[in-house]
Structure 1
Amino acid sequence: MTDERVTPEQTNTEANGQVADAVKGNWVDHRAPAWTRPYLRLSRADRPVGTWLLLIPCWWGALLASAEVGTLSPRTIWIMVGCALGAWLMRGAGCTWNDISDRNIDDKVERTKSRPIPSGQVSVKQAVTWMALQSLIALVILLTFGKLAIVLGIASLLPVMIYPFAKRFTWWPQVFLGIAFNWGALLAYAAVAGKLTTAPVFLYLAGIAWTIFYDTIYAHQDKEDDALIGVKSTALRFGDDTPRWLKRFLVMTVVLMAAGIIEALTEGSVLALVVALGAPWAMGLHMTWQMARLDTANPDRCLALFRSNRNTGLLAALFLAIAIFL
């Protein structure tokens, strides 16, 4: 980005080891033990929205499976708690892998050069060790989820490994992020139901469309630097046509999620189906609200809108949760 984005406050922040786009006043920079901070920054613990965006599709899958049978069992509650712990760990491991892979790019981008590896807070060897530790703890949690979920969890490592390199060979790296970030919709549904049907597949595809929507907004922060260093994104691909493309992914999100809910709940309570269908409409309304405020030339606005997608996804989860008891 241009030098206009680098403020004296930001320069002082980076000198203290803090990351430029961390949430102001976050617990990592102010309350975590000093020796843990570089590793927690690697895991994006100072920027929690990514954990939410990884977790929310897991909750969608678990709640939809529960709505089919009309009960929220103790096992399902554990799966949702386990998904929360696993999302924190695997988002941390994935971000660590991303920073290892991008270490020769991040030091050329204004927003990312303060990250732990390019700023010298953590070595690549230390980062690899930290990534392995997080992954192993997540594996222990996954082993409690059942055979099909375990297989799906292991399979999810492939898109996670590919994603950091996608921007080097395609204008659509956000698709690869969506494939990785929404895998939990399939995994959690399988953990609760013990099987996969077309319903969670529709949910998964809705999540991918949603991810392309929010991560395109996010990518507009870096489009100048990305263009200079030669990496690709949907923000660069869409350019001034971004609003029109985002409308398409908004519609896809709503239609695909509605299709999954109808597939899962048609034979059950009509009231449960009606309430559950509030999930895609609530998401669509919130995404419309984002578009009304979108300014792709304003990086701070793009970041704020990106972060607001935690609420977008939680609105859908709320409607699915209510439908379980109807």
Structure 2
Amino acid sequence: MSYLIKTLDNCKLSLKNRLVFPPMATSKSEGNGEVSKELLQYYDEKSRGGYISLIIIEHSFITPQGRASKGQLSVADDSTVEGLKKLADIIHKNGSKAIMQINHAGSATNTDVTGGYANVGPSSIVNPRSKSEVPKELRKQEIKEIIQNFKDAAKRVKDAGFDGIEIHSAHGYLLNQFYSPLTNKRNDEYGGDVLGRIKIHLEVIEAVKEAVGGDFPILLRLGACDYMEGGTTIEDSKIAALEFQKAGIDILDISGGLCGYTVPGLVGQQGYFSELTQSIKEVVSIPVILTGGITEANAAEKLLTSGKADLVGVGRAMFRDSMWAKKAIESLG
């Protein structure tokens, strides 16, 4: 039997196969980030037939200050819940599980997008990924407010009927900025070594757990390596991953850090971040998702059987072909 179509049960989240549709920004929301008819149609098409076991909804902003782009989905206030319920219902009707990714852009945005809110970050350092405005260094009280924003957003996700939540700390956004020594030069308890740089993550996880309860699945997307001199390394991420597991994370979703969602100079490899996921699997017992450049069903199967990951995310191939998952499951079945 194909490994890709085996079930996965980590107690809180039972999945009928190992295939994930990863979060990919569509810019299809309307107004101030409300769910649009176009967005509902998009996820209806992608989830139809239930061939994808798990769909992770694109990153959604937890506060206007943390909005990454125009057209981004919002979980920033209670008025969003009714629209999000419709989104969760469509995916469930089609037979897939639905996770919502929540995010704060930090310095990876600008005042034009945020509506005049100051650009912020762990330190006053221009984001090397977005090269946007010089951010204002967050004060401790402001960090506490952002943690509360994550907590409130998580409650809305649960109220909307989703199957779990994913905290975004990759691709140069705020939590990833705290994690990377290239963008975090703080001298207080939120800076310094790896444990200091993930202090905000651990506080966000604790706050989210308070909001959703112990039985609601919590995922974390980790930019596990910057692939830049002086940036985060896989050794950092092995330490961080173990701490996240101890804190209650149920699944780790591995991607790139300040390098984004690809590995510089790596072309044509199926599973860009397989070296990272394999290393992280050595230190944690929770499931690990591998995404990046996977376009072939046989490649996905090989990555799973060789122990590189527990689940595989296929993004652009399924974005281009909504029948990719159906064809993959049938070809391996």
TM-score, with length taken from structure 1? 0.31
Higher helix share: 1
Q: Which has the larger radius of gyration?
A: 1
Which of the pair has the greater relative contact order for Cα pairs under 8 Å at 6+ separation? Answer: 1
TM-score, with length taken from structure 2? 0.30
